[in-house]
Every structure is written in structure tokens, then in C-alpha cells.
Amino acid sequence: MSFLPQLIFLIILLAAGYFLIKRVKFLRRNIFLGKAETRNDQPEKRWKTMLLVAFGQQKMFKRFIPAFLHFFVYVGFLVINLEVLEFVIDGIVGTHRIFAPFLGSAYTVAMNIFEFLAVAVLVSCVIFLIRRNVTRIPRFTKPEMKGWPAMDANIILVIEIVLMIAILKMNAADQVLASRGVGHYIPVGGLFFSGLLTPMFESFSSEFLIFVERAAWWFHIVGILAFAIYVTYSKHLHIFLAFPNTWYSNLKPKGEMENMPAVTNEVNMMLGIPSDAPTDPPAEIGRFGAKDINDLSWINVMNAYSCTECGRCTSECPANITGKKLSPRKIMMDVRDRAEEVGKSLDSGGKGLEDGKSLLGDYITKEELNACTSCNACVEACPVNIDPLAIILEMRRYVAMEESGTPAQWNAMFQNMETSFAPWKFSPQDRFNWAEKVKEEEM
């Protein structure tokens, strides 16, 4: 018996593992270019959030049709990959359908479930392709989706369709060979979907069917390994990052903005309020707000890598709806692109963050930041709890506190709030004069 196929499979498996680990290390380093932040409070609530939002797809079902289709793709990805375990064992050991003799009729049931999900994934992906390229859903045609983002989505969908077809063809050829008693092929029997294809294969010779079955087997397993690597370069990285991303969600009520500790401590000192902050000033004065990715937290950067570019945030954004330049999806894509650029520069011995570029200006403009109404619609809409608003607010803080670059009308409002505790320019003592006038009129 030749061990060459097993050796080739093992080499492919190890090579895929090497490239996957290398890419994971690259992504981890990029994410931790962001500042340290601790979010380990309320662990029970965090586990519940992750199970409902990431595993349970809770927020997806606010739009039923795409959620229904995505559900089949999601479940298919989880369940069909159980069959990949058998592929891997067969590839290493040199067996064929190693679980079949042990599971008996249960194996046939499992294979029918796998095939049903394969067909469901295939149909769902075809519909997704039509939605993107024929009916052209508006949120998929925004400016930031031109070029590679649109191509990336189509590539993933086509790959999934071809992989599902390979499963069905492999099973159909396999069962025809088993019915003929050829070699090691095991009769499974009762496979409904691949059984629909068997009449097409019965007229072919056994030698040709062996070629088809083996080619489909190799294509599927190599395709799965290549897909796993490709996903780490794709927007579909959310397949893995959705789980930690939802676990580290911001559990505070939406609309509650994070205060800057340095500013809060200084105000407390001015008002004579006791503070837990150290009395000695820091060795290096921190930057107010965020200009580049290293000023954001690592959770902000992980949010960017978790973005699937579905566009639900942008489609719900009132600024974008009214024609403003702001797109929350583009904000996340820009953060990810900047992290990738810095990471590649560091790996090649370049200047990294000191390359003369920054997230603000080279990727995201002040016009985009100023268009945000801080309404949290984007945060509410995201299926995996990404928070574009946190990034926008940090960058606006930099513009306001480091550059004094906010619009003149905003500066007037800030000054009024500082002096009069309200956006309007009148004394706090006169704030309720209107109530007195109402009272006089009633009398």
C-alpha cells in the first residue's frame, strides 16, 4: 500500500497550520497595538451576551430574510466541519469513511444531515450572490464597498458554493462505486441529495468515478484548509472573532460616554473631591483622544477586525441616510486597514507607526467625524456588538483637545457649557425665568 497520499496530505496539513499560526500571530500583534483596556467585569453577563449574540445570532433576526439564509450558512459551517474531522483522520491514517463501521445507521442519518446543510448553504450563497450583484441591495453599493471589499464577498460565496458541490459529487461517486463493490468503498445507503446525482454517474467507468471521488475529496479538504487561511485575510474573520468580540462588549447603557481619567482627576482636584489617582504626575503626558490606532484601545482594534462589512450600521446611520460623508462601516474598515499597514511595515523592518501617516487625516477625515450625532444607531444595529461610536468619540476628542480643530459653532457651545453649564449663553440663575413668566400668565 502506497503511503504517498498520506505523506502529501500530512505536508499540506502542516503547511496550512504553519501559515495559519503565522497569520494569527500577525493579527494578535496588530490588535495589541492598541492601548491596554480591561473588561472582565460581570462575567456571567458577558457569557450570556456571547451565547445570545455570537452563537445564537440574536441581533441578526432584526432582518429576517438575510438572517434566515445566514442561519443555514452558519449552522452548515459548524456542523459540516464535523465531517472534516473524518476527512483529516482518513487523510492521515489512510482509511476511508473511518466512522461508518462504528456508527452504522447513525452514520447514514448524520450524512443526510450534512448533505441537507450543504444544499442549504449552496442555495443561501446563490441568493446572497444575487442580492449583491443583481438586485444590488443599497448597503452593498456604498463607496467604501467598491473594488476589493465587493470582490472579497463574492469570492467567499463562490468558494462555499464550489465546496458544497464537491461534497455532493464526492458522495454520489462514492456510492456508485460502493454499489459496484469496488475496493474499499463502503455502502452507506439512503443518501437523499447525493442520491439525486447518482444516475448521472452510473454510466461512467469505475476508473473515472474513482478519479472523480478522489479529486472531489482532495479538492474539499485542501479547499477547507485554504479557506481557513483566506478567512484571516478576509472580512469573514468575524467567523472566529465574533465570540471574543461579543464577550468584551461594552455593557454600559448606550449613550453613556467614557470619561477621560486624566481630565476627571484634574477636575476633581480643582473641586476638592478626593481621587484615587496617584499624586505623582505620569512620566509622559498621554495624548488626549486618538490620532492613530495606538491611541485606541485593543478592543477598538479587535472591533475593526471583527467587522463583516454587512453595512447594517451604515444603513441605520442618520448622518449617512441624509447624505453626509460618515459611514460607520468605513470607520471600522479604515481602522483595520491602518492596523494592517502598520503591521506589515513592522514586519518588513519599516517605520511602523512613525511612517508619517495617521488614522486621522490619511484614512478618516474631520468631516466624517463631525457628521456623527452620537445616537448609537450603529452600535445597536451591529450583529456582533461592534462599537464604531467609541472610535469616533476618541478621534473627536483629539481634534477638540489637541488640535482645537472643532467647528467655531462647537467651540462656542463648549465655552457656554464651561461657563454657563448649558449650550446657551445665559447665566444659570436665569435658566428658569421662562417658568416664572408662565406662572405669572396663569395667575
CATH of the domain at 372: 1.10.1060.10
Confidence of residue 184 (pLDDT cuts 50, 70, 90): confident
Query: What is the domain range of residue 212?
Result: 4-31+63-247
Q: Which of 218, 247, 276 is the last residue of a domain?
A: 247
Three-state SS for 89? Answer: helix
Residue 48: inside a domain, yes or no? Answer: no
pLDDT band at 276 (very low <50, low <70, confident <90, very high): low
User: How would residue 1 be classed by pLDDT, with cut points 50, 70 and 90?
Assistant: very low
Beta bridge partners of 35: 297
Tally the domains of the chain.
Answer: 3
Q: pLDDT-derived band of residue 85, with 50, 70 and 90 as boundaries? A: confident
Q: 329-341, pLDDT tens digit by residue?
A: 999 999 999 999 9
Greatest mean pLDDT among 190-194, 258-262, 367-371, 407-411: 367-371
Residue pLDDT, tens place only, 197-216? 988 898 899 999 999 999 99
Is 268 part of any domain? Answer: no
**What rounded mean pLDDT belongs to the chain?**
89
pLDDT digits (tens, 9 = 90+) for 232-242: 999 889 989 99
The number of CA neighbours under 13 Å toward the Cβ of 409 is 1
51 domain residue, yes or no: no
Q: Are residues 439 and 398 in the same domain?
A: no
Say yes or no: 391 and 420 in one domain.
no
Query: What number of CA atoms fall less than 13 Å from residue 210's CA on the CB side?
Result: 10
Instruction: Answer yes or no: do 236 and 353 share one domain.
Output: no
Among 59-63, 74-78, 256-260, whose mean pLDDT is lowest?
Answer: 256-260
pLDDT of residue 281: 55
- Residue 164 sits in the same domain as residue 220: yes
Q: Is 118 in the same domain as 168? A: yes
Predicted TM-score (pTM) of this structure = 0.86
Residue 219 lies in a domain: yes
Same domain, 96 and 157: yes
Q: pLDDT confidence of 434, banded at 50, 70, 90?
A: confident
Burial of residue 427, with CB atoms counted within 10 A of its CB: 0-12 exposed, 13-18 middle, 19 or more buried: exposed
Q: Span 352-370, mean pLDDT?
A: 93
pLDDT at position 20: 94
Task: Please indicate, yes or no, if residue 39 is contained in any of the structural domains.
Answer: no
411 and 310, same structural domain? no
**C-alpha to C-alpha distance for 130 and 361, rounded to whole angstroms:** 36
Distances (CA, A) of 278 to 148, 266, 269, 281, 320: 48, 11, 12, 7, 43
- Give residue-wise pLDDT tens across range 379-395: 999 999 999 999 999 99
Residue 402 located in a structural domain: yes
Enclosing H/E stretch for 314? helix 312-316
Q: Are residues 139 and 203 in the same domain?
A: yes
